[in-house]
Structure 1
Amino acid sequence: MHPRGVISFPITLSNGVRSRTEEVEFLVLPATSKHDIILGREAIGDFNAHPSTAHGAVGVPTPTGVAIIHVNQHCFATESSKPSKIPKQAQRIEPKKWVLNKKFLDQTVTIGPAISEIVRTFLKQPLLKNIDVFAWQPADMSGVPQSIAEHKLRVNPMFTPIVQKERKMGPEQTNAMYEQVQDLLQAGIIRPIQYQTWVANPAIVPKRNGTWWMCIDFQGS
């Protein structure tokens, strides 16, 4: 698809309270779309905006503070920098959580609230047809070559390693850590090894669904 030309005009991003206007350059394309304009990477950089797909929102720094604009609010083009009044019905709508694999109810796919039901249905179909390509548990990741995925610590050799004091955990956290370590060992993701100079403590963090998430605390190690 070849652009027909380039057009430039001021764009104002506002949440109804704070606003910011920047001159944005657009390519004019011979295509039909439900969007009048699409802000590209350069425009996002001009606004110094920080979008978050998970939250369905974008943060835009303004002279009076950060404006948080959600997906159901309107971005508009205007020559004035006055903030636009956002109607009451344009309140934030939480993204929908969709369970792709019924065997793993806690692993969900986030679907933006602005997506129509028709588009949402078409998005789900290829995911369901290719459900086997997702790693739902550590055992599904067995055989991943080291050239594709490898974790390592970028340690400065000028600093002396420090041994952390062993932290005591309760029986529930200890059992959860043991089960996760065994899963990783069986999947071949980790292997037993003993370090003589330093050690990092595991940290067990509770999830919202009542299970545990194992992390490694490298602070001070």
Structure 2
Amino acid sequence: MGRTGIHAFKAVPSTYHMVLKFPIRNGVIEARGDQKMARSCYVAALRPDGTGGQVLPIEDMDVRENNELRGKPAEDLVPIPLDPLDPEKVTYIGASLDKPLKGRLITFLQENNDVFAWTAAVMPGIDPNLITHRFNVDPTRKGVKQNKRTYAPDRLEAIKQEVEKLLEAGFIEEVQFPEWLANPVMVKKANGKWRMCIDFTDLNDACPKDCYPYQELIP
């Protein structure tokens, strides 16, 4: 249907549950999908040239900590160094670009490498009203403090380094008596480094969800 069609129908899709809900005159109707048809559409969407190829099954596209299962980009990518003094500052562009276009793109990226934020420390002075997240937590729900997890030495060191960087940049601060306490979750990136995420499962569960915001049904 596309985004314009979904907007026109005031529809709310759920790819996980294979269902689409949208309002009608006397209520809400739902249309359920077919798993086999969805798989065939998924495979077709990954075949822009019509020749097909090896496709990662849907059930294998979840995030794994060992990073062994990962969807592949549509084309090969080549690294482009942005700073000759720091070889780790690289970005990637498509390997199949025409040489003139590739050259202009590389020059443009290198000339504007100051727009890339490699660490939290290079983004000072941002208004907290712009970047602060506020959760719509149900006031009747009691805060949950997750039990402390144990981590392997390499993950523990990565957590320590990430927290120290965020503290130094002023992006986070220590709270002595938290009502909510969530553990970090370490996910390995494609370059072999660790990405630190936060387990907000309990907090998300306490936030009311409105599946049909601003919905107005015609009587």
* CA separation of 1:204 and 1:41: change in aligned 2, threshold 3 A: closer
Instruction: State the identity as a percent.
Output: 29
Amino acid at match of 1:158: T
Matching residue within 191, 196, 208 for 2:178: 196
* CA separation of 1:131 and 1:147: change in aligned 2, threshold 3 A: same
Amino acid at match of 2:78: K
* CA separation of 1:42 and 1:170: change in aligned 2, threshold 3 A: closer
Displacement of 1:164 in angstroms is 0.9
User: Cα RMSD (Å) of the superposition?
Assistant: 3.6
Structure 1 residue runs of 4+, over 4 Å off? 40-43, 61-64, 85-88
Q: Does 1:162 pair with 2:134?
A: no
Matching residue within 183, 187, 190 for 2:165: 183
* CA separation of 1:95 and 1:42: change in aligned 2, threshold 3 A: farther
* CA separation of 1:112 and 1:194: change in aligned 2, threshold 3 A: farther
Matching residue within 57, 65, 68 for 2:40: 65
* CA separation of 1:135 and 1:220: change in aligned 2, threshold 3 A: same
Q: Does 1:94 pair with 2:71?
A: no
State the match for 1:135 in structure 2: 117
More RCO (CA 8 Å, sep 6+): 2
Q: Report if the CA contact (8 A) 2:166-2:172 is conserved.
A: yes
Q: Distance in 2 between matches of 1:119 and 1:112?
A: 11
- List gaps (5 residues or longer) in structure 2: 8-35, 54-72, 204-219
Q: Report if the CA contact (8 A) 1:106-1:209 is conserved.
A: no
Q: Report if the CA contact (8 A) 2:79-2:92 is conserved.
A: yes
* CA separation of 1:64 and 1:204: change in aligned 2, threshold 3 A: closer
Q: Distance in 2 between matches of 1:127 and 1:110?
A: 10
Question: TM-score, normalization: structure 2?
Answer: 0.56
* CA separation of 1:219 and 1:148: change in aligned 2, threshold 3 A: same
Normalized per residue, which structure has more helix? Answer: 2
Q: Distance in 1 between matches of 2:136 and 2:94?
A: 36
Displacement of 1:118 in angstroms is 1.6
Amino acid at match of 1:163: K
Q: Residues 96-126 of structure 1: CA distance to partner in whole angstroms, max 9, x if unpaired?
A: 133343525375234373x322222222222
* Equivalence map 1:1-40=2 (5 Å): none
Q: Distance in 1 between matches of 2:3 and 2:176?
A: 46
Q: Does 1:109 pair with 2:92?
A: yes
Normalized per residue, which structure has more strand? Answer: 1
Q: Distance in 2 between matches of 1:65 and 1:218?
A: 33
Q: Residues 160-217 of structure 1: CA distance to partner in whole angstroms, max 9, x if unpaired?
A: 2212111111222111111111111111211222343220111122223332211111
Question: TM-score, normalization: structure 1?
Answer: 0.56
Matching residue within 100, 105, 109 for 1:123: 105
Q: How many positions carry a matched residue from both structures?
A: 153
Q: Report if the CA contact (8 A) 2:120-2:166 is conserved.
A: yes
* CA separation of 1:155 and 1:104: change in aligned 2, threshold 3 A: farther
Q: Distance in 2 between matches of 1:154 and 1:109?
A: 37
- List gaps (5 residues or longer) in structure 1: 1-21, 23-39, 46-60, 74-84
